[in-house]
Structure 1
Amino acid sequence: MSNFIVRKVAVLGAGVMGAQIAAHCINAKVPVLLFDLPAKDGPRNGIAANAIERLKKLAPAPLGAPELASLIVAADYDEDLARLRECDLVIEAIAERMDWKHDLYARVAPAIAPHAIFATNTSGLSIAELAAGMHESLQERFCGVHFFNPPRYMELVELIPTARTDPAILDQLESFLTTTLGKGVVRARDTPNFIGNRVGVFGLLAAFIEAGKYGLSYDVVDDLTGTRLGRAKSGTFRTADVVGLDTLAHVIKTMEDKLPADPFAPHYGTPAVLAGLIGRGALGQKTGAGFYRKDGKAILQLDPAGGGYVPAGGKADDEVARILKTKDPAARLQALRASAHPQAQFVWAVLRDTFHYSAVHLAEIADTARDVDFAMRWGFGHAVGPFELWQSAGWAQVAQWVQEDIAAGKALSPAPLPDWVHCGPVAARGGVHVPEGSWSPETEAFEPRSTLPVYRRQVFRAALEGEGVTPQTAGNTVFEDEAIRLWTLDLLGLDEVLIASFKTKMNTIGPAVTAGLLRAVGLAEREYRGLVIWQPDGPFSAGADLQAMMPLFLSGGVQAIAPEQERLQETSLRLRYAQVPTVAAIAGLALGGGCELALHCARRVAHFESHLGLVETGVGLVPGAGGLTYGARRAAAEHALAPEAPLLHFLKKYALQAATAEVSKSAPDARRMGYLLESDPIVFNVHEVLYTAVREARALHDSGWRPPLAAPFAVAGSQGIATLTSQLVNMRDGGFISAHDFHLGRAIAEIICGGEVAAGSLADEAWIMASERQAFMALLNHPKTQERITGMMQTGKPVRN
Structure 2
Amino acid sequence: MSNFIVKKVAVLGAGVMGAQIAAHCVNAKVPVVLFDLPAKEGPKNGIVLRAIDNLKKLSPAPLGNKDDAALIEVANYEDNLDVLKGCDLIIEAIAERMDWKHDLYKKVAPHIAPNAIFASNTSGLSITALSEGFDVDLQARFCGVHFFNPPRYMHLVELIPTVSTRPEILDQLEGFLTTTLGKGVVRAKDTPNFIANRVGIFGMLATIHEAEKFGLSYDVVDDLTGAKLGRAKSGTFRTADVVGLDTMGHVIKTMQDNLQNDPFFPVYKTPDTLAKLIGAGALGQKAGGGFYKKVGKDIQRFDPATGTYVAAGKKADDIIARILKEKDPAKRMKALRDSTNPQAQFLWAIFRDAFHYIAVHLESIADNARDIDFALRWGFGWKTGPFENWQAAGWQQVATWVQEDIEAGKALCNAPLPQWVFDGRDAVHTPDGSWSPAKKSYVPRSDLPVYQRQAFRAAVLGDNVANGATAGTTILEDESVRIWHQNDDVLILSLKTKMGVIGQGVINGLAKAIDEAEKNFKGLVLWNANAADGGAFSAGADLQSMLPVFMSGGVKAIEPEVAKLQNALQGLKYANVPVVAAVAGLALGGGCELMLHAAKRVASIESYIGLVEVGVGLVPAGGGLKEAAVRAANDAKGNDILQFLKVYFTNAATAAVSKSALEAQQMGYLKPTDTIVFNPYELLHVAKVEARALFDAGYRAPQRKLVPVTGRYGLATIKAQLVNMRDGGFISAHDFKIASLIAEIVSGGDIEQGSLVNEQWLLDLERKAFMELLNNPKTQERIMGMMQTGKPVRN
TM-score normalised by the chain length of structure 2? 0.98
> Which residue pairs with 1:673 in the alignment?
667
Distance (whole Å) between structure 2 residues aligned to residue 396 and residue 544 of structure 1: 47
Task: Check if 1:453 corresponds to 2:446.
Answer: no
What SS does structure 1 have at the residue aligned with 2:598? coil
Distance (whole Å) between structure 2 residues aligned to residue 648 and residue 322 of structure 1: 56
> Which residue pairs with 1:110 in the alignment?
110
State how many pairs are aligned.
790
1:340-379 equivalence runs, <5 A: 340-379=340-379
> Which residue pairs with 2:431 in the alignment?
435
> Which residue pairs with 2:575 in the alignment?
578
Distance (whole Å) between structure 1 residues aligned to residue 321 and residue 491 of structure 2: 42
Distance (whole Å) between structure 1 residues aligned to residue 688 and residue 377 of structure 2: 28
Distance (whole Å) between structure 1 residues aligned to residue 332 and residue 734 of structure 2: 46
Residue from 619, 639, 645 that aligns with 2:636: 639
Unpaired runs of at least 5, structure 2: none
- Alpha-carbon displacement from aligned partner over 1:780-801 (angstroms, at most 9, x marks no partner): 1211111121122222222222
1:10-89 equivalence runs, <5 A: 10-89=10-89
What SS does structure 1 have at the residue aligned with 2:571? helix
Distance (whole Å) between structure 1 residues aligned to residue 729 and residue 349 of structure 2: 51
Distance (whole Å) between structure 2 residues aligned to residue 746 and residue 563 of structure 1: 24
- Alpha-carbon displacement from aligned partner over 1:320-349 (angstroms, at most 9, x marks no partner): 111111122112111111222111221221
Residue from 490, 498, 504 that aligns with 1:505: 498
Distance (whole Å) between structure 2 residues aligned to residue 722 and residue 421 of structure 1: 75
Distance (whole Å) between structure 1 residues aligned to residue 779 and residue 579 of structure 2: 33
Distance (whole Å) between structure 2 residues aligned to residue 170 and residue 348 of structure 1: 39
> Which residue pairs with 1:489 in the alignment?
486
Deviation for aligned residue 1:248: 0.1
Q: Residue 702 of structure 1 aligns to which amino acid in structure 2?
A: D
Deviation for aligned residue 1:351: 1.5
Q: Residue 619 of structure 1 aligns to which amino acid in structure 2?
A: V
Q: Residue 518 of structure 1 aligns to which amino acid in structure 2?
A: A
Distance (whole Å) between structure 2 residues aligned to residue 163 and residue 40 of structure 1: 40
Residue from 547, 551, 564 that aligns with 2:548: 551
> Which residue pairs with 1:475 in the alignment?
472
Deviation for aligned residue 1:29: 0.3
> Which residue pairs with 2:209 in the alignment?
209
Distance (whole Å) between structure 1 residues aligned to residue 308 and residue 724 of structure 2: 45
What SS does structure 2 have at the residue aligned with 1:62? coil
Deviation for aligned residue 1:206: 1.0
Residue from 512, 515, 518 that aligns with 2:511: 518
Distance (whole Å) between structure 1 residues aligned to residue 118 and residue 146 of structure 2: 13
> Which residue pairs with 1:238 in the alignment?
238
Residue from 769, 772, 779 that aligns with 1:785: 779
Q: Residue 466 of structure 1 aligns to which amino acid in structure 2?
A: G
The more displaced of 724-733 and 780-789 is 724-733
Deviation for aligned residue 1:479: 0.6
Distance (whole Å) between structure 2 residues aligned to residue 389 and residue 736 of structure 1: 51
Deviation for aligned residue 1:121: 0.5
Q: Residue 716 of structure 1 aligns to which amino acid in structure 2?
A: T
1:256-655 equivalence runs, <5 A: 256-424=256-424, 427=425, 430-468=426-464, 469-490=466-487, 495-537=488-530, 538-640=535-637, 643-644=638-639, 646-655=640-649
The more displaced of 375-384 and 729-738 is 729-738
> Which residue pairs with 1:194 in the alignment?
194
Q: Residue 444 of structure 2 aligns to which amino acid in structure 1?
A: P
Deviation for aligned residue 1:145: 0.4
Runs of 4+ in 1 over 6 A off after TM superposition: none
Distance (whole Å) between structure 2 residues aligned to residue 393 and residue 568 of structure 1: 45
Distance (whole Å) between structure 1 residues aligned to residue 447 and residue 337 of structure 2: 40
Distance (whole Å) between structure 2 residues aligned to residue 574 and residue 555 of structure 1: 29
What SS does structure 2 have at the residue aligned with 1:557? helix
- Alpha-carbon displacement from aligned partner over 1:419-472 (angstroms, at most 9, x marks no partner): 111115xx1xx2111112111111111111111101100000111100243211
The more displaced of 43-52 and 86-95 is 43-52
Distance (whole Å) between structure 2 residues aligned to residue 319 and residue 782 of structure 1: 44
Distance (whole Å) between structure 1 residues aligned to residue 473 and residue 268 of structure 2: 52
Provide the aligned C-alpha RMSD in A.
Answer: 1.1
The more displaced of 400-409 and 724-733 is 724-733
Q: Residue 453 of structure 1 aligns to which amino acid in structure 2?
A: P
1:754-769 equivalence runs, <5 A: 754-769=748-763
Task: Check if 1:663 corresponds to 2:657.
Answer: yes
* CA pair 403-738 structure 1, distance change in 2 beyond 3 A: farther
Residue from 694, 708, 711 that aligns with 1:700: 694
Deviation for aligned residue 1:218: 0.9
Distance (whole Å) between structure 2 residues aligned to residue 336 and residue 797 of structure 1: 34
Distance (whole Å) between structure 2 residues aligned to residue 618 and residue 407 of structure 1: 59
Q: Residue 336 of structure 2 aligns to which amino acid in structure 1?
A: L
What SS does structure 1 have at the residue aligned with 2:538? coil
- Alpha-carbon displacement from aligned partner over 1:52-78 (angstroms, at most 9, x marks no partner): 111111111100011110000000111
* CA pair 214-783 structure 1, distance change in 2 beyond 3 A: same
Distance (whole Å) between structure 2 residues aligned to residue 268 and residue 702 of structure 1: 60
Q: Residue 541 of structure 1 aligns to which amino acid in structure 2?
A: S
Q: Residue 496 of structure 1 aligns to which amino acid in structure 2?
A: D
Deviation for aligned residue 1:713: 1.4
Distance (whole Å) between structure 1 residues aligned to residue 127 and residue 137 of structure 2: 16
What SS does structure 2 have at the residue aligned with 1:299? strand
Q: Residue 668 of structure 2 aligns to which amino acid in structure 1?
A: G
Deviation for aligned residue 1:417: 1.3
- Alpha-carbon displacement from aligned partner over 1:474-524 (angstroms, at most 9, x marks no partner): 00001111110000014xxxx211000011111111101110011101111
Deviation for aligned residue 1:296: 1.8
Distance (whole Å) between structure 1 residues aligned to residue 275 and residue 724 of structure 2: 52
- Alpha-carbon displacement from aligned partner over 1:376-425 (angstroms, at most 9, x marks no partner): 0000000000001111121112112212222222211111111111115x
Distance (whole Å) between structure 1 residues aligned to residue 726 and residue 453 of structure 2: 49
1:712-791 equivalence runs, <5 A: 712-791=706-785
Distance (whole Å) between structure 1 residues aligned to residue 178 and residue 702 of structure 2: 35
- Alpha-carbon displacement from aligned partner over 1:659-713 (angstroms, at most 9, x marks no partner): 1111000000000010101111000000000000011101100000001111111
Deviation for aligned residue 1:656: 1.3
Unpaired runs of at least 5, structure 1: none
Deviation for aligned residue 1:306: 2.0
- Alpha-carbon displacement from aligned partner over 1:229-272 (angstroms, at most 9, x marks no partner): 10011110010000000000000011111101111111101101
- Alpha-carbon displacement from aligned partner over 1:534-584 (angstroms, at most 9, x marks no partner): 000121011111111122122212222222211110111011000000000
Deviation for aligned residue 1:729: 2.8
Distance (whole Å) between structure 2 residues aligned to residue 244 and residue 510 of structure 1: 45
Distance (whole Å) between structure 1 residues aligned to residue 386 and residue 733 of structure 2: 51
Q: Residue 715 of structure 1 aligns to which amino acid in structure 2?
A: V
Q: Residue 593 of structure 2 aligns to which amino acid in structure 1?
A: E
Q: Residue 507 of structure 1 aligns to which amino acid in structure 2?
A: G
Deviation for aligned residue 1:9: 0.2
Task: Check if 1:133 corresponds to 2:144.
Answer: no
Deviation for aligned residue 1:28: 0.3
Distance (whole Å) between structure 1 residues aligned to residue 194 and residue 187 of structure 2: 9
Deviation for aligned residue 1:734: 3.7
What SS does structure 2 have at the residue aligned with 1:657? helix
What SS does structure 2 have at the residue aligned with 1:144? strand
Distance (whole Å) between structure 1 residues aligned to residue 721 and residue 382 of structure 2: 45
Distance (whole Å) between structure 1 residues aligned to residue 777 and residue 243 of structure 2: 46
What SS does structure 2 have at the residue aligned with 1:543? coil
Deviation for aligned residue 1:278: 0.5
